[in-house]
Amino acid sequence: MPESISRAEVAHLARLARLAVTEEELDRFAGQLDVILGAVARVGTVAADDIEPTSHAVPVTNVFRADQVRPGLTQQQALSGAPAQEEGRFQVPRILGEEA
């Protein structure tokens, strides 16, 4: 178990974080930080040499299907329902006022 964090250390951390804390808060925060540091220390002791490090709690598998070439629309079929077309492309109104 790590040493307890002192009120002076809490005050120093508060100054670094530019926090104004009262005397009562120094005592309360010191106790809360002790609990947090204890929990972190316990996590460090759990890891054992016989346990392989993991990045996920459960196995992750790729859910993508393999690419398969399939027939699609021809250019004529794709443009057949367009209200306007020009040079084999969909014709849409100009919205940015750019010159071609």
More confident residue, 66 or 54: 66
* Residue ranges per structural domain of the chain: 7-46
* Distance (Å, whole) CA 12 – CA 66: 58
Question: Architecture of 7-46 per CATH?
Answer: Orthogonal Bundle (1.10)
Please state the φ and ψ torsions of residue 85, each to the nearest 5 degrees: -140, 155
pLDDT, tens digit, 9 for 90 and up, residues 16-49: 999 999 999 999 999 999 999 998 888 777 767 7
Query: According to the model, what pLDDT value does residue 59 have?
Result: 84
Mean pLDDT of the chain: 87
Residues 26, 11: contact at Cβ < 8 Å? yes
- Mean pLDDT to the nearest integer, 70-74: 93
Query: According to the model, what pLDDT value does residue 1 have?
Result: 52
Q: Give start and end residues of each alpha helix (H) in 1-100.
A: 7-16, 23-46, 75-79
- The identity of residue 67, as a single letter, is D
Is pTM beyond 0.85? Reply is: no
